[in-house]
Structure 1
Amino acid sequence: MLNFDFYNPTHISFGKGCIAKLDGFVPAEAQVMVLYGGQSAQRTGTLDEVQAALGERKVYLFGGVEANPTYEKLMEAVQIAREQNIDFLLAVGGGSVIDGAKFVAAAVPYPDDPWNILLNGGRDIKQALPIGTVLTLAATGSEMNNGSVITRKSLQAKLPFHNDLVFPKFSMLDPSKSFTLPERQVANGVVDAFVHVMEQYLTYPVNAPVQDRFSEGLLQTLIEQGPLALSQPDDYEVRANLMWVATLALNGLIGSGVPQDWSTHLIGHEFTALYGLDHAQTLAIILPSMLQERRVAKREKLLQYAERVWNLRDGDAEQRIDAAIARTREFFETLGVKTRLNDYGLAQDAVEAALQQLEQHGMLQLGEHKDIDLAISRRVLEASL
């Protein structure tokens, strides 16, 4: 096992009715900005519940945070927060709204051009407004980590940042708030959580059985519960398990002491920035091709994944690896998430555009071995057509 430091200060309040506890988590004198996405938070009554729980506090509503939160939109929130002396942010929604709140939290007190937060990966953040979250979509794990990904439309750039100062102080996880989600969002959430685990698990062995078994359990739970979440949308227990898996997939625990990949995410980001594909759609496209391309570098863990996650024991090693990759692709397809670029009307010119973006953004040494260069990225993308 590799050396590591693990830190996670987020308080989780889980279960039906937990939103009512907000009053005990938000400072009584706080001036609160509530960030949310579209109309669903209002239509389902979640926003009303939040406002009722906040009581007499001064509350400013900021809606319209996009599914891939944009720098342009979030800078509007930054301006309002500065003008109104906002001192607490509450994100109501899924990972995109939470990511957006993290950026606003860092940008409000930031002394320079806030775009530098993204350019510097969050390394120079010295202070941030406190954040809480009310989660309505299980997917990204942003409710219990220190990361965020923001898109700048004018530059067609989608960049991540991390800093411990943007860990949410608390997150309210009520699985029943996900009952009304469209199937597409539920399926995307399952794919997103699955690939989060894979980026931390399917690298190379470092004798970390605790993390491996934890990761394998999360993957098997997603395989079991994901299809049920689509076929039984009002099943509280299914949604509860799915919500908790997605949180655990990216709260830092399974990635502690093990190498991590993240090449699938970083390549996928370019297709969201260029063509507006859902984040999970890009992951479902890239991951199977990435595993095929990296089958030698990932051989030991691929065989472990085949046996422990998919129960594949027949055939020689190469056949088991092929079958595990095929099962992964089939799982995404079963959820209704397509796994080829041409499924979304994208062809070779999209590959060329993505490669140009990767080069422009300095994505020249990706993966757990930092050896995925543009030539390898090209092979992965062309295999994804």
Structure 2
Amino acid sequence: MQNFIYHNPTKLVFGKGMIARLSQLIPAGKRIMVTFGGGSARRNGVYDQVARALEGREYVEFWGIEPNPTVETLREAIALGREHRVDFLLAVGGGSVIDGTKLIAAGLRYEGDPWEIVLRGRADDTVPLGTVLTMAATGSEMNSGAVISRSETREKYAFQGSYPVFSVLDPQTTFSLPQRQIAAGLSDTFVHVMEQYLTTTGQSRLMDRWAEGILHTVVEVAPLIREERRDYDAMADYMLAATLALNDMIRMGVSQDWATHMIGHELTALHGLTHGATLAIVFNGTLRVLREQKRDKILQYGARIWGIVEGTDDERIDRTIARTEEFFRSLGLSTRLSEEGIGRETILEIERRFDAAGVRHGEAQNVDGALARRILEACL
């Protein structure tokens, strides 16, 4: 196991009716800005719960943080926050709203353009923020990462902001979500785990078992949620699994990959495809192209998650990759670029972008432009 430092300061407030605790969670005297997405919080009743909890408090609202939040929209939010001298932020929504609010938190303390923070990859000073999660997927409610897009240049990059001070998770807020959003969230959760798990064997028994526990949970609850979205216990397991998949817990002392995510970000930037949907396509290509590099871990994964233990090693790997693709399909997601109308022009552009940036992703730092092209070609 590698050396590591683990610190996660986010207070998790989980369960039915917990939104009512906001008045206790946000320190008195704070000038609050509450950030929202496109309006689903009004339709699902979350807005009313937040408003009741903040009754008597000084706050301003900002609406319109889009899926794959853009710096163009967030500049407007920062201007509003400065106008009202905001010193506490509350993000109400899914990962996009939370990610966007992390840039707002940094931008309120930064004199230059907030895109400079994204390009630098980190924020040095931020306004504190809390969250009310309404869509389980990204884990942004309990980590410091965020991913921001720039429409003008069709770019999308990650940066490190601040951990939320607290995050309120009530599984009931997810009951009204469209099926495709839930499917993308399950895909995102699954691949978050795989980016930290499917590297090499023998690094940590404990991290492997924790990761496998989350994978088993996602696989078990996915059909339950598909059949009945108001199943509280299934939604509770899914919501917590998404948080634990990316709150730094299962990465302690082990190598990580993240090549699938970096390629997926480019697909979103170029085509607007939902993040979780890009992962359902790209991850299968990653397995096909890097099967020898990841050979031992694929065999372990196939045995422990899918029960694939019979046959030669190559036969088991083939069946494991096929079973993984079948899982994404069971969610109702595409697993091939051609199904989304994406072809070679996009593949070559992503290769060019990787080469121009000089990046090398993956646990072996070998996923450069040429290897990214091979992975995408395996997804056609």
State the match for 2:362 in structure 1.
367
Look up the match of 1:21.
21
In the alignment, which of 332, 336, 345 is matched to residue 336 of structure 1?
332
Q: Which one-letter code corresponds to 2:129 in the other structure?
A: I
**Distance between the aligned counterparts of 1:325 and 1:337, measured in 2?**
16
1:231-250 equivalence runs, <5 A = 231-250=227-246
Matches within 5 A, 1:120-199: 120-122=120-122, 125-163=123-161, 166-199=162-195
Instruction: Work out the CA distance in 1 between the residues paired with 2:37 and 2:133.
Output: 12
CA distance in 1, matches of 2:64, 2:339: 28
Rounded to whole Å, the distance in 2 between the matches of 1:316 and 1:25 is 55
Deviations 1:225-253 (A, max 9, x none): 01211111110000000000000000000
What letter is aligned with 1:222?
V
CA shift, 1:111, in A, is 2.9
Normalised TM-score (structure 2): 0.98
CA distance in 2, matches of 1:371, 1:107: 34
Equivalent runs, 1:99-110 vs 2, <5 Å: 99-110=99-110
Q: Does 1:50 align with 2:45?
A: no
Tell me, yes or no, if structure 1 residue 5 matches structure 2 residue 1.
no
User: What are the within-5 Å matches in structure 2 for residues 194-233 of structure 1?
Assistant: 194-233=190-229
Instruction: Note the C-alpha offset of 1:113.
Output: 2.6
Distance 1:305 1:235 in 2: 28
Q: Secondary structure at the match of 1:306?
A: helix
Alpha-carbon separation, structure 1, partners of 2:361 and 2:313? 26
Secondary structure of the residue aligned to 1:41 is helix
In the alignment, is the contact (CA less than 8 A) between 1:14 and 1:172 conserved in 2? yes
Distance in 1, Cα, partners of 2:160 & 2:83: 26
Shift of 1:349: 1.3
SS of 1:101's partner is helix
Match of 1:355? Answer: 351
Distance (whole Å) between structure 2 residues aligned to residue 210 and residue 303 of structure 1: 18
Offset, 1:162: 1.2
- The counterpart of 1:254, out of the listed 250, 256, 261, is 250
2:84 matched residue in structure 1:
84
Residues 280 and 334 in structure 2, CA contact (< 8 A), matched pair in contact too: yes
Distance 1:41 1:382 in 2: 39
The aligned amino acid for 2:334 is: K
Question: Which letter maps to 2:42?
Answer: Q
How far the C-alpha of 1:376 sits from its partner, in A, is 1.1
AA in 1 matched with 2:32: V
Distance (whole Å) between structure 1 residues aligned to residue 91 and residue 358 of structure 2: 31
Cα deviation per residue 1:313-372 (whole Å; 9 max; x = unaligned)? Answer: 011111111111111100000100101111111111121122222233433x11011011
SS in 1 for 2:306: coil
Aligned to 1:74: 74
For 1:295-306, list aligned pairs within 5 A: 295-306=291-302
Matched, 1:37 2:37: yes
Tell me, in whole angstroms, the C-alpha distance in 2 between the residues paired with 1:65 and 1:352: 30
Specify the alignment match of 1:113 in structure 2: 113
- Mapped to 1, the partners of 2:273 and 2:18 lie a distance apart of 33
Deviation at 1:129, TM superposition (A): 0.4
Q: 1:137 touches 1:178 (CA, 8 Å); kept in 2?
A: yes
Answer with 232-241 or 202-211: which moved more. 202-211
Letter in 2 for 1:14: F
Contact kept in structure 1, 2:65 and 2:100, CA below 8 Å: yes
TM-score by length of 1: 0.97
> Do 1:203 and 1:259's aligned partners in 2 also have CA atoms closer than 8 Å?
yes
C-alpha separation in 2, matches of 1:179 and 1:118? 33
The CA distance in 1 between the partners of 2:223 and 2:68, in whole Å, is 25
In structure 1, how many angstroms separate the alpha carbons of the residues matched to 2:93 and 2:22? 15
2:371 equivalent in structure 1: 376
